[in-house]
């Protein structure tokens, strides 16, 4: 069996047992990248072949005298291109940062470094993580491995496509309003957004600082737990990092039932606009959870209908503030032939940012402007509190919430580019959990008649990732969706 077809746990076991070498792993993935990357376009920057093989050989040489391995040692990873990597170009999918090479690592990269993973490259994304389709990248769109005429989701579309296409064994993404879960659902893989504050944001290039969170995209729930174990934890470099004990998440992926768990089904997530095939797959998944011992209970989250409007006021306001630093002065793109400072600012931002980023900066600037701050930004903050209270009230009654990840399956490339509102509605089921800072996972739960994956979302209480992982693992093991892989013809 080709090594690139293995899950993280399977590959890790083979490497730890000495059945395969790091060089053999690297060569297998280099071959796979050569075969499918020209079609999928999951990466913006790839690690040079010679560099990757040298790193793999160094791992093997070090193990000759000392066989003990770290959990992620020699594991081939893709890193979303808004996570700073020292000495490796980090573009955020934008012309503004197309030649930016960070002088430091993000904290998650520092957490990974002692394990010596093989970093295959930086994965594609919507510019500055603003989008739901990866079509807003300055480097062109990535494609869905199940059907290359369709989007892979966004903004972590490159990471999800790379995992689904076996172009890495696992990847890191970031989730602001659904940007891990939605592409994972589109590509038929697992995507996990931890509780806000569980994983350090230091070195994650900011979109909306009160929402952004790094998390794993993997082939299985077990793999997600393994990777989360490595990247989670308190970080004094991040003022929003939670100083809480981190459990061993792999202990949650042992039991194959959900006995004693009360599972809530929010009625607002099954209303008008939900595709019938998605509805049927999610309902079938809920039935499986019931058969596994879960008690199913219908619940209500009355503020759900306000979540999209709330998110697109808060997130754009924060984006407007965070992106003000890109002015062509200190680093990044600078427009040429400007005769005065104001003209240089204007030209740099006009040429450096794409249309979707400009749209969100303008929305956010308006929401923060004098005379409108309380009416828009202030009101949105108040509604965010109502959404959080809805979840707090529901979690007094249930242990877990289940729902679709998105209203439809992946749509065709170009289908919604001229209709931003339809694009924004792709995240209608993922945004509420982001606003409340809750842990949430997407696991495959079916396919449409067109052969496109469908995702099941599970949401838990703050810092109760283990319950989410336990339920996701039990469902995954009771079904065979995890065994389905796309066929990409060379």
Provide the annotated active-site residues.
Answer: 80, 155, 179
Q: Which residue has the tokens 């997407």?
A: 442
Scan for tokens 């079938």, then name that residue. 284
Neighbour-count burial for 220-233, b at 16+ CB within 10 Å, e otherwise: bbbbbbbbbbbbbb
Largest CA distance in the chain: 70
Tokens (6 digits) for 45: 């920057």
What tokens does 423 get? Answer: 């694009």
Residue 309 per-residue DSSP state:
H
Euclidean distance between CA atoms 145 and 152, whole angstroms: 8
Would you say 19 and 180 are in contact if contact means Cβ atoms under 8 Å apart?
A: no
* Residue 235 backbone class (left: φ over 0; alpha: ψ -120 to 50; beta: rest): beta
Burial of 99 (0-12, 13-18, 19+ CB in 10 A): exposed
- Residues whose CB is less than 8 angstroms from the CB of residue 383 and which lie 6 or more positions away in sequence, other chains included: 303, 306, 309, 310
Distance CA 469, CA 125 (A): 26
- In which order are the strands placed within the sheet that holds 453-459? 43-46, 118-123, 76-80, 170-175, 213-218, 190-193, 440-447, 453-459, 400-404, 262-266, 295-299
End-to-end CA distance of the chain: 18
In terms of Cβ atoms closer than 10 Å to its own Cβ (0-12, 13-18, 19+), residue 420 is middle
CA distance 269 to 375: 28
CB 145 within 8 A of CB 398: no
Angle ∠(163,97,179) on CA atoms, nearest 5: 35
């Amino acid at each position: 069996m080709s090594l690139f077809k293995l899950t993280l746990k399977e590959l890790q076991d083979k490497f730890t047992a000495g059945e395969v070498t790091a060089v053999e792993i690297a060569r297998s993935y280099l071959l796979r990248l050569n075969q499918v990357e020209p079609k999928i376009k999951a990466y913006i920057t790839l690690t040079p072949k010679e560099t990757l093989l040298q790193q793999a050989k160094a791992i093997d040489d070090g193990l000759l005298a000392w066989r003990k391995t770290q959990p992620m040692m020699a594991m081939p990873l893709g890193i979303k291109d808004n996570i700073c990597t020292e000495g490796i170009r980090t573009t955020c999918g934008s012309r503004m940062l197309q030649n930016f090479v960070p002088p430091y690592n993000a904290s998650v990269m520092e957490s990974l470094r002692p394990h010596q993973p093989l970093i295959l490259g930086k994965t594609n994304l919507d510019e500055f993580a603003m989008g739901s389709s990866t079509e807003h990248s300055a480097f062109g769109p990535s494609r869905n491995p199940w059907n290359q005429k369709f989007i892979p989701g966004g903004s972590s579309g490159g990471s999800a496509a790379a995992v689904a296409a076996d172009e890495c064994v696992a990847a890191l993404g970031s989730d602001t309003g659904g940007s891990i879960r939605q592409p994972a659902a589109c590509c038929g893989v697992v995507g996990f957004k931890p509780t806000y504050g569980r994983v350090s944001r230091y070195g994650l290039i900011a979109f909306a600082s009160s929402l952004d969170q790094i998390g794993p995209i993997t082939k299985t729930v077990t793999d997600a737990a393994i990777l989360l174990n490595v990247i989670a934890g308190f970080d004094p470099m991040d003022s929003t990092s939670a100083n809480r004990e981190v459990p061993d998440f792999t202990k949650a992926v042992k039991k194959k039932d959900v006995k004693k768990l009360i599972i809530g089904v929010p009625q607002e997530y099954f209303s008008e606009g939900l595709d019938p095939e998605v509805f049927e797959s999610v309902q079938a998944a809920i039935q499986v959870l019931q058969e596994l011992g879960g008690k199913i209970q219908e619940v209500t989250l009355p503020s759900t209908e306000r979540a999209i409007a709330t998110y697109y006021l808060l997130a754009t306001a924060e984006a407007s503030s965070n992106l003000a630093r890109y002015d062509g002065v200190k680093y990044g793109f600078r427009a040429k032939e400007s005769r005065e400072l104001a003209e240089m600012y204007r030209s740099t931002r006009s040429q450096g940012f794409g249309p979707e980023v400009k749209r969100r900066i303008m929305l956010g600037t308006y929401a923060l402007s004098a005379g409108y701050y309380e009416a828009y930004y202030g009101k949105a903050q108040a509604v965010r509190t109502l959404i959080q209270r809805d979840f707090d009230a529901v979690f007094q009654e249930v242990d877990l919430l289940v729902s679709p990840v998105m209203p439809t399956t992946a749509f065709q490339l170009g289908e919604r580019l001229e209709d931003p509102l339809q694009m924004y509605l792709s995240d209608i089921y993922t945004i509420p959990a982001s606003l409340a800072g809750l842990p949430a996972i997407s696991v495959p739960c079916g396919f449409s008649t067109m052969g496109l994956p469908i995702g099941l979302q599970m949401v838990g209480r703050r810092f109760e990732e283990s319950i989410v992982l336990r339920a996701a693992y039990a469902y995954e093991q009771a079904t065979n969706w995890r065994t389905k892989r796309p066929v990409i013809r060379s």
